[in-house]
């Protein structure tokens, strides 16, 4: 199996980096090939903007989706985007490793969605959801949070984690990926050690690494989240009354 | 009233730009002062990273929240972040104008949250939610979507819009802002006119501009979304059994 880990954290010795490292070690130990897209280290530009497109479809009006499709069709996609798409195409399993910042992925990773999931390439009107371009591949978000688990429970003040993950999971499913339940490491406070003692931080790190490595060894037995699909929707994209809603928060 | 519009779109003649322009015109016509933070035009850098901090608390390990707090305490916040915070402090009402890209705000605006809502400045452990630093100010997201409204209904394939807005609304409430219901302009396809006829695009633009201007004239009579608050939560940040959950998706 070919695995792509899209890693998003600015500190090379962070808790997130440790989780990526143990994932590489575990997956390679199982005989898989692993590629890491280290967005910060590689200097990925997360901002979708006109200057990425050399041969514009319309030089006077920047419509991002139109330029994306034109770039796909004319072979003019930005080199970094081409590289990320090639990584996705090679992968059987994609892992997104990131901290939850402001109830979502960091801007660096949000922009990876904005720029890499190109219209006319990774999706079109007829190639989305369970007919998506990347169907057959699986994806899993491994997420660290600052607050402890209770804050992210259904009635927690941080917001129900399933609800917070919903926009991200919707986007991954949109391009056809099968979405596995997220791996959650709660209550990680910086590693700058201003809140937690060094000993407490190391203890949690070892526990969360072990839990992650353990899960990765049996990933092939997991079932993806059950989203609704084309057969469930009417022409307006709304669930038919006779089709029960499947997974959603 | 002082109004801050945080505007996020790369095309100066976009549908989003037209909504910002009509908001400026309407609000100034009512006698308010309006400031526009045009993130793309101003070249805002949405990526939180070590190089923003000149005098690091810890030069060997980049813990974003620790560096933010240290920068607040030592007067070393990045200049652009200081500028954005000053804009927020001046404002009575904040409007975020953006297109929904991949079920959330564009990376450019996500990074405005990541970098501007600094720990130790715009919030701390004891100054959050209804005890937040920015309490007394109101905020409203004005959002355009590519797909039509039915896709964003409760059972729509695009995802229930209230659920998609939840992470953003949670973040705004976290710093103490009173969150008004979003202004939604559905089914806006690029303006590159590849999907819609020019006439259809103009027609919708005029209708959505009028609807937006109309709402802005009576904004002071609107009630914010009713989130839970400190008095509703136990020590773990979980809703007390006797306190009914208030607004959430």
Establish if A103 touches chain B: CB-CB under 8 angstroms.
yes
Please state, in angstroms and as integers, the Cα–Cα distance from residue B164 to each residue in A119, A183, B169, following that order.
21, 21, 9
Q: Is the pLDDT of residue A46 over 90?
A: yes
Alpha helices in chain A (DSSP H): 15-29, 39-42, 64-74, 79-90, 107-116, 161-174, 198-216
Confidence of residue A190 (pLDDT cuts 50, 70, 90): low
pLDDT for res A124 = 94
pLDDT at A191: 53
- Give the range among A32-41, A151-160, A161-170 with minimum mean pLDDT: A151-160
Token pair recorded at residue A93: 């399993």
* pLDDT attached to residue A201: 83
pLDDT of residue A242: 79
Q: Which of A190, A105, A210 is nearest to A147 (CA)?
A: A190
- What CA–CA distance (Å, rounded) separates A113 from A141? 13
ipTM over 0.85: yes
More confident residue, A140 or B249: A140
Of A49, A50, A106, the CB nearest to B114: A106
Structure tokens of B83?
A: 């500028």
C-alpha–C-alpha distance, residues B87 and A220, integer Å: 50
Residue B51 confidence (pLDDT): 97
Which pLDDT does position A196 carry in this prediction?
61
Q: A202, A217, A218, A212: which is closest to A19 by C-alpha?
A: A212
DSSP structure class, residue A66: H
The answer to whether A102 contacts B117, with C-beta atoms less than 8 Å apart, is yes
Q: Output b/e per residue, A82-120; b: 16+ Cβ within 10 A.
A: bebbebbeebebbbbbbbbbbbbbbbbbbbbbbbbbbbb
Query: Does any CB of chain B come closer than 8 Å to the CB of residue A176?
Result: no
The answer, for A41 touching chain B at a CB cutoff of 8 Å, is: no
Flag if B107 and A104 touch (Cβ within 8 Å): no
Instruction: Encode pLDDT of B107-133 as tens digits.
Output: 999 999 999 999 999 999 999 999 999
Mean pLDDT (chain B, rounded) = 93
pLDDT at A199: 82
List the single best residue of A18, A41, A69, A102 to mutate versus B (max B Cβ within 10 A): A102
- Contact between B236 and B230 (Cβ < 8 Å): no
> d(Cα A116, Cα B241) in Å, to the nearest integer?
44
Residue with tokens 């959050």: B128
Average pLDDT over every residue of A184-204: 76
Mean local confidence (pLDDT), A178-187: 96
Strand B178-179 relative to strand B138-144, pairing? parallel
Say if residues B31 and B119 touch (Cβ distance below 8 Å).
Answer: no
Q: Domain A2-232: which CATH class? A: alpha beta
- Quick one: pLDDT at residue A249? 59
Averaged pLDDT for residues B90-104: 98
pLDDT of the residue at B191: 53
In this prediction, residues B94-115 reach a mean pLDDT of 98
pLDDT at B199 over 90: no
How sure is the predictor about B243, in pLDDT bands with cuts at 50, 70 and 90? Answer: confident
What angle (nearest 5°) sits at the alpha carbon of residue B236, between those of residues B232 and B240?
30
Retrieve residue B117's tokens. 């809502």
* Chain A residue whose CA is closest to B161: A167
- pLDDT at position A197: 74
pLDDT at B122: 98
- Please check whether residue A119 touches B, CB under 8 A: no
The answer to whether B190 contacts A66, with C-beta atoms less than 8 Å apart, is yes
pLDDT (tens digit per residue) in A86-126:
999 999 999 999 999 999 999 999 999 999 999 999 999 99
Dihedral, A105, A108, A111, A117 alpha carbons, nearest 10: -80
Would you list the DSSP string of A183-207? EEE-----SS-SSS-HHHHHHHHHH
pLDDT (mean) for B174-183: 98
Q: Is B239 on the interface with A (CB under 8 A)?
A: yes
Interface with B, mutate which of A192, A231, A240 (most B CBs under 10 A): A192
pTM, whole model, 2 decimals? Answer: 0.96
Q: Is the minimum CB–CB distance between A198 and chain B shorter than 8 Å?
A: no
Cα–Cα distance for residue pair A154/A157, rounded to 1 Å: 9
Determine whether the interchain pair B46/A46 forms a contact, defined as Cβ–Cβ distance below 8 Å: yes
| Distances from the Cα of A239 to the Cα of A194, A205, A224, A235, angstroms | 48, 42, 20, 10
B203: its two tokens: 């027609």
Residue A16 confidence (pLDDT) above 60: yes
Task: Measure the CA–CA gap between B153 and B157, rounded to whole angstroms.
Answer: 8
| Cβ contacts of A248 on chain B, cutoff 8 Å | 159-160, 163
Confidence of residue B200 (pLDDT cuts 50, 70, 90): confident
Dihedral angle at the C-alpha atoms of A70, A76, A79, A82, nearest 10 degrees?
Answer: 50
pLDDT digits (tens, 9 = 90+) for A206-249: 999 999 999 999 999 999 999 999 999 999 999 998 776 665 65
DSSP β-bridge partners for residue B37: B6
Q: Decide if A151 and B237 are in contact by the 8 Å CB cutoff.
A: yes
What mean pLDDT, rounded, does chain A reach?
93
What are the tens digits of pLDDT across the range B27-68?
Answer: 999 999 999 999 999 999 999 999 999 999 999 999 999 999
pLDDT of residue A83 exceeding 60: yes
Helix, strand or coil for residue A137? coil
**A109 and A46 Cβ atoms separated by less than 8 Å:** yes
Of all residues in chain B, the one with the smallest CA distance to A249 is B163
- 3-state SS assignment for residue A156: strand
Q: Is B41 on the interface with A (CB under 8 A)?
A: no
Residue A130: Cβ within 10 Å count = 14
């Amino acid at each position: 199996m070919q695995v792509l880990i899209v890693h998003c954290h600015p500190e090379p010795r962070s808790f997130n980096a440790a989780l990526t490292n143990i994932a590489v070690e575990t997956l390679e130990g199982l005989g898989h090939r692993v590629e890491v897209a280290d967005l910060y280290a590689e200097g990925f530009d997360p901002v979708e903007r006109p200057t990425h497109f050399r041969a514009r479809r319309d030089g006077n009006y920047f419509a991002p989706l139109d330029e994306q499709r034109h770039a796909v069709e004319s072979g003019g996609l930005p080199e970094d985007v081409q590289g990320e798409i090639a990584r996705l195409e090679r992968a059987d399993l994609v892992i997104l490793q990131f901290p939850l910042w402001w109830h979502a992925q960091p801007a660096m990773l949000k922009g990876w969605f904005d720029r890499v999931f190109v219209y006319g390439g990774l999706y079109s009107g007829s190639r989305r959801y369970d007919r998506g371009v990347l169907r057959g591949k699986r994806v899993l978000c491994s997420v660290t949070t600052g607050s402890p688990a209770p804050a992210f429970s259904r009635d927690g003040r941080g917001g129900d984690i399933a609800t917070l993950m919903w926009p991200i999971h919707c986007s991954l499913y949109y391009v056809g990926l099968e979405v596995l339940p997220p791996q959650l490491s709660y209550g990680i406070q910086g590693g700058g050690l201003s809140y937690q003692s060094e000993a407490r931080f190391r203890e949690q790190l070892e526990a969360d690494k072990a839990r992650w490595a353990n899960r990765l060894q049996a990933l092939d037995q997991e079932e993806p989240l059950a989203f609704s699909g084309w057969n469930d929707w009417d022409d307006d994209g709304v669930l038919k009354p006779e089709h029960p809603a499947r997974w959603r928060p």
